[in-house]
Amino acid sequence: MQPSISVIKLTGELEIGRKAEVRGALQLTDEQKSILIDCGEVTYADSTALAELIRFRNQADARQVPVAILIGNGQFARLLDYAGLAQAFAVFDTRGAALAFLGSQTAGSQTAP
Amino acid sequence: MIGRSELRIVCNADSTSARRLRQALRSFLDVFALERDLAEDILLAIGEVLSNAIEHGSDATGRSHLELFARSGGDDTLAIAVHDDGKFIERERLPNRGYGLRIVRAIARSVTIETSGGTNVEMVFGRSRSPVCSSAQR
């Protein structure tokens, strides 16, 4: 049986002017068992987005809901690096790798990303 | 060879200011034909300072304006300053804003913060990657 994976797609420039929108998109529900945050079409992200992702990840961790982030360009990866958060998220540059990670987590594997 | 170039923008601070100022700065940076990653990093650093200023840059009367001033130096550098009406120390104590300055310091060659008459953050960037600011050195 395939694990249930919820996809939250974010696009464009994730900056202070869209803070409320990003927060609204990153809401955890009881039905979500595994979450892919698709940032493949994000063209810019800053610490405003990071703060919302950290808030969401903390909520998900508290409920043991695995979260993977799909990134589409180097800017997001460098943002994590500069913030000292490169290891704080399960980040992937292909959808297949992200889904495989979530599948393994949902199946109870403790394999690190 | 590119001569000395400057960009100065003064505007009210609101939720759209950061994006508009980044767009203007992007056009200014295009003149220097920077490496794409470097240009993105400079825009990120300035975006962080602008975000902080927009969120917390009002003075005691609620007045809130931003000034962005960028200039090229003769030594292969770009100096970019952001001025606002707020107090920097108060902003640093707020939660969930601890990453912005860390990001700026990771990208800029130098960061100078002055807090008299508001807050002025001046950053100096190289126009090319150097060992000082390369990812491997961070």
Structure tokens that stand for A82 in this block: 């500069």
* Amino acid type, A41: E
* A46 with B100: Cβ contact below 8 A: yes
Distance CA B88, CA B52 (A): 9
- CB contact under 8 Å between B51 and A82, yes or no, is no
The residues that bridge with A92 in the sheet, in sequence order, are A70
- What the block records as the tokens of B5 is 């170039």
Residue to mutate among A13, A21, A47, with most B CBs inside 10 A, is A47
In chain B, domain spans: 6-137
pLDDT digits (tens, 9 = 90+) for B65-117: 899 999 998 789 999 999 998 876 544 445 555 799 999 999 999 999 998 88
Read off the pTM: 0.87
Q: Which of A16, A55, A85 sits opposite B55 (nearest CB)?
A: A16
pLDDT tens for A11-57 read 999 999 999 999 999 999 999 999 999 999 999 999 999 999 999 99
In 3D space, the residue among A76, A71, A58, A88 whose CA is nearest the CA of residue A15 turns out to be A76
B138 vs B125: CA distance, rounded Å:
15
Query: Tokens 């002055």 correspond to what residue?
Result: B114
Q: Record the tokens describing residue A72, joined without a space.
A: 């589409």
Residues B6-137, CATH architecture? 2-Layer Sandwich (3.30)
Contact residues on chain B for A54, CB-CB shorter than 8 A: 96
Q: Please indicate whether, in this complex, the C-beta atoms of B103 and A54 are within 8 angstroms of each other.
A: no
Sketch out chain A's domains with CATH numbers.
6-106 (3.30.750.24)
